[in-house]
Amino acid sequence: MNYRDITDLNRDSRRFAQELSIDVDLVVGIPRSGLLVANYLSLYLDVPMTDVDGLCNGTVFDTGNRFSDDFSFEHLDSVLVVDDSVLSGNQMTETRSRLDAHEFSFDIRYAAMYVSSWGHSYVDYWGEVVPVPRVFEWNLLHHSLLTNFCVDIDGVLCRNPTPEENDDGENYRRFLSEVEPNIVPNQPIGWLVTSRLEQYRPETEAWLDRHCIEYDHLVMLDLPDQETRQELGQYAQYKADVYAETGADLFIESEPEQAVEISELTNKPVFCYDTYEMIQPGGVGRAYQKSASTLSKFSRDPVGVTGFLGKRFLYRCYHLLSSNALAPSGRSRSDQE
């Protein structure tokens, strides 16, 4: 999974501004994410910025006293229209078409910070080719790839319960029903994978429905009570099992320690929501083999396979506890062509 965060974007925007081979009088961001790049570039190039509507209407964003007295669209020679990335080229093509309908007196060039291996053909300048699959910090939980992600609930979609709320009783049920969401993704999630117990499925499903969070599968621990869950532990192992069996492209986990362990167990990338860090599998991560038969069963009967995974989880934990007890203590198009 190729990933870029805000720090990468800042660094790459600075380099892009230094290497840009044309003079720019105005930077125009394509909403929403293109405004991130436009903001960085306008600062590093020391020019005003606006969005596409502003360009069409002849207005720029307020910059205090810096450009307010002497800036005029009549004096523009070169405008750079930017987006954060180009994948299919649809957004850039739509923007070009809209701006082509205006008779501007200045030259317009198009750019993107990150492009796919074919996306460079839609722009005049670009910062870096980032192959798919790819996600960015600013679109991770609103990306169409969510349909093939595993996502934790507590600590990601909502906060974790307090010790008082986490009583495995009425306080906990109230938390499940009333907690406010941290974020509501606008794309369906493939697998919600939580250490919540199966007995709390009705409250969890009702909460997800009330907050319009779409998902394909909800995987929960099939254990009798919180005490049993805490005694067994091994939450990362359980989540790693699900991650491997589903064949998902990414797991979004809230806890840093669990995120690292899940990545090591599966030899696959894990995004830690708490630290906003993409953990890539390293040499210490052991390869985790997927079961084709279980994958097939999961697609036909996700609830049944959830029970199977829960039983296997119990089996593994039993042997783990037993063994522990016995053991002793700015490129341009011309550059490309």
Residue 58: CATH number of its domain: 3.40.50.2020
Domain match, 92 and 192 both = no
Tens digits of residue pLDDT in 61-112: 876 655 555 677 888 999 999 999 999 999 999 999 999 999 899 999 999 9
Same domain, 158 and 45: no
Q: Is residue 289 part of a domain?
A: yes
The pTM (predicted TM-score) of the whole model is: 0.76
| Last residue in a domain, options 78, 106, 136 | 136
Both 234 and 106 in one domain: the answer is no
Q: Output the CA–CA distances (angstroms, integers) from residue 98 to 81, 170, 285, in the order listed.
A: 12, 56, 49
Together in a domain, 83 and 157: no
Region for 155 from its dihedrals, namely left if φ exceeds 0, alpha if ψ lies in -120 to 50, beta otherwise: left
Q: How many angstroms separate the most distant Cα atoms in the chain?
A: 82
If asked whether residues 112 and 206 sit together in one domain, one would say no
pLDDT band (50, 70, 90) for residue 232: confident
- Please say whether the beta carbons of 76 and 106 come within 8 A: yes
Sign of the dihedral defined by the CA atoms of residues 170, 173, 178, 182, in that order: positive
Residue 329 included in any domain = no
Q: Categorize the per-residue pLDDT at 13 as very low, low, confident or very high, splitting at 50, 70 and 90.
A: very high
Together in a domain, 243 and 167: yes
Final residue of a structural domain among 94, 115, 136: 136
| Cα gap 29→34, rounded to integer Å | 5
Assess whether 161 and 288 both reside in one domain. Answer: yes
Q: Which of 150-159, 181-190, 276-285 is least confident?
A: 276-285
Asked if residue 25 lies in contact with residue 75, where contact means CB atoms within 8 angstroms, the answer is yes
pLDDT score recorded for residue 65: 59
Would you state the structure tokens that stand for residue 11, as one six-digit string?
A: 């660094």
| Mean per-residue pLDDT, 294-308 | 46
Q: Do 178 and 301 have their domain in common?
A: yes
Long-range contacts from 278-284, C-beta under 8 angstroms, 24+ separation? 278/1, 278/3, 278/5, 280/1
More confident residue, 309 or 194: 194
SS (H, E, C) 101-137: CCCCCCEEEEEEEEECCCHHHHCCEEEEECCCCEEEC
Where a domain ends, among 82, 114, 136?
A: 136
Task: Based on the fold, state whether residues 130 and 150 are members of the same structural domain.
Answer: no
Domain assignment of residue 60, given as a range: 2-136
The answer to whether residue 71 is domain-embedded is yes
Quick one: average pLDDT of 261-286? 86
Residue 331 lies in a domain: no
CB under 8 Å to 260, separation ≥6 — which residues?
Answer: 270, 272, 279
Q: How many other CB atoms are found less than 10 A from the CB of residue 124? A: 16
